[in-house]
Amino acid sequence: MIDVIIGLAPAMAAAGYYFRMHALILIAACVISCVAAEWLCNLIRKKPNSLDDFSAVVTGIILALSLPPSLPVWAAIIGSFFSITIGKMVFGGLGSNIFNPAMVGRTFLTVSFGVLMTSWTVPASIDPAMPAVAQENILDTRTQATPLAWSKLAIKNELGADIYSEKQFKATFTGEVGGCLGETSVIALLIGGLYLLIRRTINFHIPLAVLSATFVFAGIAYLIDSFAYVQPFFHLTSGGLLLCAFFIATDPVTAPLTRKGMWVFGIGVGVITMLIRIVGEYPEGVMFSVLLMNALTPLIDRFFKRIPAGGSPSI
Amino acid sequence: MNVSSRGRFTFSGGVHPPENKSLTCESQIQPGPEVKQVAVMLSQHIGAVCRPLIRKGDAVQAGQKIGDSDAFVSAPVHSPINGKVKEIALRSHAVLGRSLAIVIETDDEGPAKRPSFQVPADFDVSKYSAEQICEVVRKGGLVGMGGAGFPTRVKIEQDPRIPKDALIINGCECEPYITCDYRIMLEWTSQIIAGIKLAGKASGCSKVFIGIEDNKPQAIEIMSAALRDSGDADGIIAVPVKTKYPQGGERQLIKAILKKNVPPGGIPPMIGVVVLNVATTAAIAEAVVSNLPLTHRVVSVTGEAIAKPGNYYVPIGTSVEDLLEFCGLAPQKSAKVILGGPMMGIAIADLKTPITKTTNAVTVLMKEQIGSAKFARRQTPCIRCGRCLQACPENLNPTKIAHAVKNNLLDVAERYNIGTCIECGCCSYVCPANIEVTGYIKTGKIFLARQKQKMPR
Ligand code: SF4
Ligand code: SF4
């Protein structure tokens, strides 16, 4: 778990750089309240303290990184408590939960405080009027749509998706775009993901499956109608997809155990994300797709049973 | 077959525990303690328990048969020393718990048997017929000396229904710490080759492979050279296999060398393969050529808490206590005495436990080596990381089986093929949550066996 925290460090640093105090306050609030929630649950259930596995800290960080920077601190605290109590502890603590706790908390916040969860502050490090995005009157100067939300709006207003310029595309790599705290900087996420892969904290199967499924799906859509759909690289680099591919979908507790199962799980996450992004109403689908596939994990595990070396014994 | 010095032959899964072989790998096989008393277990093998052939107070000679059984799958036991039967009493056995042993007290101070067997220059395998070899192997009480103790005769005897075609000599010794097989390969080379020829003749196998892990280049070198020199060793090849635990598991070795799978729950003869450990092969030569039964064996006594670690040639029945005393154990440093190695061995509490035909090592671990978390058995919940699945050489789902056993769902455990687990311990070794996965699986197997006894299907 310590490795996951280290892997998340670049993303946290990027968040701190772009969103300054907002980011630090939110991360601190989430981590502290997740830890407090777990401690309280153990106290009430009269169970031994389980904080030393650091899973509550990881949940807190991931939740914080998937929140919009302008979210009030009280909302973050509510989300954290929900994550830990309903997302994890009611199932019996670490290892027994079905859903990714951070995503449970985020879903709760999205459903309860829809407006707060979709106002995006422009990174403090750049000019408030995002230079790359045409000054649409649908956007005011203080808040800024995420690239995904913006492209969706653009398509709705029949502007065509290719307005999304080169410059904006580059900006997603460094993170100078609107979006959730930790979702914006592609480089930071890639560094963290690479670290986890090298440390073998995660296997490459799930990230690769998620990314390639997304890429293929988006690629097909783009080939069919390049005016209505943005190009596939954009889908890979924007929104929570990378955070999801490396840090959320790879949560071992809620992902399948077998290799084949991991492929199915990852492809499922990628495809559902794209369905929601392209067809659905929400601009971003990572959260729901992870939860949906989490729910399917026991089934996947049952379906892809391992066959012992030498074939199944005939009992 | 094109054989390079690097072992390309391997299986999937497995782990790489620290080897720790340097403690004893340079130590020549030397005589063990001169014991006053031995306790020869009546069951040192898989199969029927022997019944004693002598009574309390009888005088016995070294090499005299003192226990036997009429069952096909069984092996007689012999006295390693001259002496008198003191009693037939219960002794601890690492796997079977308390079971019967013949306790013999020596009366003469004659020198202990030396590991000095030499293959005579005129050794010629064609002097012996297959039946003759099998008979001697049975009479000599030979069993697999690498671990399980399956009676050797049952393995090598020809079966008209399934003709045997490949003989694999297991010189992998993948278990950390243990070096007795390695030393046997270096020092008793000609004896092993004689034994291989005899076993080949008895089983009728046309192909013979000697599988040796590629971390023992010297053994590969010496065995290959001896094979070249011995002239008539056609069809015998020393094969370097990849160094990985449990390469020495017979199913894994067969997979690595022959690329064949033994059916789950089955044994190698079912696919016409015989696997013999190098120590067993050496014992076959001794039994057939010199008509000496299996009464002594080489045991690695090792671990950082031992003053004189090494490979000792000891009478079967010597108590672990005598052996450790002889080798200089620092009791305040030791935390765990294991018969076998740290991966597959079994920790014993009773130091009076005698050495059996299958005891290849006594490993003494210190608290620091076990690791404080493992030592305190602090288990955290399974995080389903899947490492145990990847490490499992039998391609099982260890965590699922372990959790099924834990929750008393034996039918689920069976559905996940608990019976095909070879208890290699890889899953426990890799588990980041310190879960004794193998322990649960072993428990589950015992529960299942009991259940079946109570309620025959
Ligand atoms: S389940 Fe059995 S065979 Fe598989 S790693 Fe564990 S002990 Fe070894
Ligand atoms: S290695 Fe341990 S924690 Fe990981 S899945 Fe297996 S039992 Fe669970």
- Predicted local confidence at residue A155, as pLDDT: 54
- CA pair distance B163, A188, nearest whole angstrom: 62
Instruction: List all residues 6 or more positions away from B78 whose beta carbon is below 8 Å from its beta carbon.
Output: B40, B63, B64, B65, B66, B140, B141, B293, B294, B295
- Three-state secondary-structure class, residue A141: coil
Judged against a pLDDT cut of 90, whether residue B25 lies above it is answered with no
- CA pair distance B379, B401, nearest whole angstrom: 17
Number of domains in chain B: 2
Q: Do A97 and A147 reside in the same domain of the chain?
A: no
- For residue B60, is it within any domain? no
* Cβ neighbour number for residue B69 with a 10 Å cutoff: 18
Q: Do B285 and B382 reside in the same domain of the chain?
A: no
- For residue B250, is it within any domain? yes
Q: Which ligand is nearest to the CA of A96?
A: 2
Confidence band for B300, pLDDT divided at 50, 70 and 90 = very high
Range of the domain at B229: 125-290
pLDDT digits (tens, 9 = 90+) for A47-86: 888 787 888 999 999 999 988 887 889 999 999 999 999 9
- Domain-ending residue, one of B240, B274, B290: B290
- Predicted local confidence at residue B334, as pLDDT: 66
Write out the two tokens for B396: 């099982």
Note whether B384 contacts A252, CB cutoff 8 Å.
yes
* Cβ neighbour number for residue B127 with a 10 Å cutoff: 10
Short-list A136, A50, A140, CA closest to A89: A50
- Predicted local confidence at residue A125, as pLDDT: 47
Mean pLDDT of chain B: 85
- Predicted local confidence at residue A261, as pLDDT: 92
Judged against a pLDDT cut of 60, whether residue A140 lies above it is answered with no
Q: Do B253 and B399 reside in the same domain of the chain?
A: no
Note whether B395 contacts A306, CB cutoff 8 Å.
yes
Do residues B15 and B245 touch, judged by C-beta distance below 8 A? Answer: yes
Confidence band for A161, pLDDT divided at 50, 70 and 90 = very low
Asked which of A91-95, B8-12, B118-122 is least confident by mean pLDDT, the reply is B118-122
Which of 229-268 (B) contact A at CB < 8 A? Answer: 251, 255, 261-266
Q: Do B153 and B282 reside in the same domain of the chain?
A: yes
Tell me the mean pLDDT in the region B47-52.
87
- For residue B432, is it within any domain? yes
Residue among A95, A301, A308 minimizing CB distance to B420: A308
What's the sign of the alpha-carbon dihedral B262, B399, A263, A314?
positive
- Predicted local confidence at residue A85, as pLDDT: 93
Percentage of chain B surpassing pLDDT 90? 17
Identify all chain A residues contacting B433, using CB atoms and an 8 Å cutoff.
Answer: 95
Judged against a pLDDT cut of 60, whether residue A314 lies above it is answered with no
Asked which of A42-51, A102-111, B78-87 is least confident by mean pLDDT, the reply is A42-51
How far apart, in Å, do the first and last CA atoms of chain A sit?
40
Write out the two tokens for A32: 């502290």
Q: Do A64 and A151 reside in the same domain of the chain?
A: no
Its pTM stands at 0.81
Instruction: List all residues 6 or more positions away from B298 whose beta carbon is below 8 Å from its beta carbon.
Output: B29, B115, B180, B183, B184, B279, B311, B312, B313, B314, B360
Environment class of residue A313 by beta-carbon count within 10 Å: exposed (0-12), middle (13-18) or buried (19+)?
Answer: middle
Note whether B386 contacts A312, CB cutoff 8 Å.
no
Confidence band for A127, pLDDT divided at 50, 70 and 90 = very low
Which of A112-126, A215-229, B78-92 ranks highest by mean pLDDT? B78-92
Confidence band for B120, pLDDT divided at 50, 70 and 90 = confident
- Predicted local confidence at residue A75, as pLDDT: 92
pLDDT digits (tens, 9 = 90+) for B90-104: 888 877 778 889 999
Note whether A315 contacts B414, CB cutoff 8 Å.
yes
Confidence band for A141, pLDDT divided at 50, 70 and 90 = very low
- CA pair distance B226, A185, nearest whole angstrom: 64
Mean pLDDT of chain A: 80
Confidence band for A315, pLDDT divided at 50, 70 and 90 = very low
- CA pair distance A91, A99, nearest whole angstrom: 10
- Predicted local confidence at residue A137, as pLDDT: 32
Tell me the mean pLDDT in the region A203-207.
91
- For residue A51, is it within any domain? yes
Note whether A95 contacts B261, CB cutoff 8 Å.
no
Q: Do A156 and A84 reside in the same domain of the chain?
A: no
Tell me the mean pLDDT in the region A179-196.
84
- Domain-ending residue, one of A82, A117, A152: A117
Asked which of A25-34, B141-150, B292-301 is least confident by mean pLDDT, the reply is B141-150
Judged against a pLDDT cut of 70, whether residue A3 lies above it is answered with yes
A81 vs B122: which has the higher pLDDT: A81
- CA pair distance B168, B330, nearest whole angstrom: 39
Write out the two tokens for B426: 């890889």
Q: Locate the chain B residue with the closest alpha carbon to A92.
A: B381
- B399 close to A (CB below 8 A): yes
Q: Do A246 and A275 reside in the same domain of the chain?
A: yes
Short-list A138, A211, A134, A126, CA closest to A177: A126
- Predicted local confidence at residue A178, as pLDDT: 63
Note whether B381 contacts A203, CB cutoff 8 Å.
no
- For residue B391, is it within any domain? yes
Percentage of chain B surpassing pLDDT 70? 91
Q: Do B267 and B139 reside in the same domain of the chain?
A: yes
Nearest-atom number in ligand 2 for the CA of B398 is 6
Identify all chain A residues contacting B263, using CB atoms and an 8 Å cutoff.
Answer: 310-311, 313
For residue B173, give how far its alpha carbon lies from the nearest alpha carbon of chain A (Å).
22
- For residue A312, is it within any domain? no
Judged against a pLDDT cut of 80, whether residue B107 lies above it is answered with no
What's the DSSP call for residue B85? Answer: E
What's the DSSP call for residue A251? Answer: -
Is the beta carbon of B396 within 6 A of some atom in ligand 1? yes
- CA pair distance B230, B224, nearest whole angstrom: 10
Q: Do A64 and A166 reside in the same domain of the chain?
A: no
- Predicted local confidence at residue B376, as pLDDT: 59
Q: Which residue has the tokens 């398509």?
A: A155
- Domain-ending residue, one of B290, B317, B342: B290
Note whether A310 contacts B266, CB cutoff 8 Å.
yes
Nearest-atom number in ligand 1 for the CA of B391 is 5
Q: Do A298 and A242 reside in the same domain of the chain?
A: yes
Do residues A308 and B397 touch, judged by C-beta distance below 8 A? Answer: no
Percentage of chain A surpassing pLDDT 90? 36
- Predicted local confidence at residue B333, as pLDDT: 66
The CATH number of the domain holding residue B431 is 1.10.1060.10
Tell me the mean pLDDT in the region B56-83.
88
- Predicted local confidence at residue B154, as pLDDT: 86
Beta strands in A75-131 (DSSP E): none
Confidence band for B453, pLDDT divided at 50, 70 and 90 = confident
Judged against a pLDDT cut of 80, whether residue B265 lies above it is answered with no
Nearest-atom number in ligand 1 for the CA of B392 is 5
Asked which of A37-41, B115-119, B165-169 is least confident by mean pLDDT, the reply is B115-119
Write out the two tokens for B355: 């050495």
- CA pair distance B417, B438, nearest whole angstrom: 14
A141 vs B384: which has the higher pLDDT: B384
- Predicted local confidence at residue B18, as pLDDT: 85
Environment class of residue A155 by beta-carbon count within 10 Å: exposed (0-12), middle (13-18) or buried (19+)?
Answer: middle
Q: Which of A204, A257, A301, A307 to mutate to test the interface with B (most CBs of B within 10 A)?
A: A257
Nearest CA to ligand 2 atom 4: B385
pLDDT digits (tens, 9 = 90+) for B334-378: 678 888 888 888 888 888 889 999 898 998 888 776 665 555 567
- For residue B47, is it within any domain? no
Q: Do A101 and A146 reside in the same domain of the chain?
A: no
Nearest CA to ligand 1 atom 8: B424
Asked which of A112-116, B180-184, B210-214 is least confident by mean pLDDT, the reply is A112-116
B364 beta partners: B337
Note whether B394 contacts A203, CB cutoff 8 Å.
no
Confidence band for A99, pLDDT divided at 50, 70 and 90 = very high
- Predicted local confidence at residue A263, as pLDDT: 94
Write out the two tokens for B276: 């013999």
Tell me the mean pLDDT in the region B182-191.
90
Is the beta carbon of B105 within 6 A of some atom in ligand 1? no
Note whether B396 contacts A308, CB cutoff 8 Å.
yes
- Predicted local confidence at residue B227, as pLDDT: 85
Q: Do A12 and A88 reside in the same domain of the chain?
A: yes
Q: What residues in chain A have their Cβ under 8 A from chain B's Cβ atoms?
A: 50, 53, 93-96, 203, 252-253, 255, 257-258, 262, 301, 305-313, 315
Q: How far is CA B60 from CA A315, B78, B139, in A?
A: 47, 10, 17
Query: How far out from the chain centre does Cα A270 lie?
Result: 12
- Predicted local confidence at residue A146, as pLDDT: 61
Q: Do A55 and A157 reside in the same domain of the chain?
A: no
Range of the domain at A59: 2-117
Q: Which ligand is nearest to the CA of B397?
A: 1
Identify all chain A residues contacting B420, using CB atoms and an 8 Å cutoff.
Answer: 308-310, 313
Confidence band for B225, pLDDT divided at 50, 70 and 90 = confident
Judged against a pLDDT cut of 70, whether residue B309 lies above it is answered with yes
What's the gap in Å between B397 CA and the centre of ligand 1?
8
Is the beta carbon of B426 within 6 A of some atom in ligand 1? yes
CA angle B228/B229/B232 to nearest 5° reads 75
- Predicted local confidence at residue A53, as pLDDT: 82
Identify all chain B residues contacting A305, using CB atoms and an 8 Å cutoff.
Answer: 397, 416
* Torsion region of B50: left, alpha or beta (phi above 0 gives left; psi -120 to 50 gives alpha): beta
Number of domains in chain A: 2
Residue B448, amino acid: L
Q: Do B282 and B401 reside in the same domain of the chain?
A: no
- B30 close to A (CB below 8 A): no
Judged against a pLDDT cut of 70, whether residue B6 lies above it is answered with no
The CATH number of the domain holding residue B175 is 3.40.50.11540
Pocket test for ligand 1, best of B346, B382, B403, B441 (most atoms within 8 A of CB): B441
Nearest-atom number in ligand 1 for the CA of B395 is 4
* Cβ neighbour number for residue B337 with a 10 Å cutoff: 23
Note whether B384 contacts A307, CB cutoff 8 Å.
no
Judged against a pLDDT cut of 50, whether residue A136 lies above it is answered with no
Please confirm whether the linkage preceding B398 is cis (ω < 30° from 0).
Answer: no
Q: Which ligand is nearest to the CA of B434?
A: 2
Is the beta carbon of B431 within 6 A of some atom in ligand 2? yes
Short-list A61, A47, A52, A55, CA closest to A14: A61
Judged against a pLDDT cut of 70, whether residue B109 lies above it is answered with no
Q: How far is CA A56 from CA A31, A49, A53, in A?
A: 7, 12, 8
Nearest CA to ligand 1 atom 1: B398
Element (H, E) at B346: strand B346-348
- Predicted local confidence at residue B45, as pLDDT: 84
Tell me the mean pLDDT in the region A93-116.
89
Q: How far is CA B298 from CA A241, B115, B294, B351, in A?
A: 60, 9, 11, 19
- CA pair distance A208, A37, nearest whole angstrom: 34
Confidence band for A170, pLDDT divided at 50, 70 and 90 = low
- Predicted local confidence at residue A279, as pLDDT: 79
Contacts 24+ apart (CB under 8 A), B83-88: B83/B59, B83/B107, B83/B108, B84/B57, B84/B58, B84/B59, B84/B60, B85/B54, B85/B55, B85/B56, B85/B57, B85/B58, B85/B59, B85/B60, B86/B37, B86/B56, B87/B56, B88/B52, B88/B56
- Domain-ending residue, one of B266, B290, B314: B290
- Predicted local confidence at residue B380, as pLDDT: 83
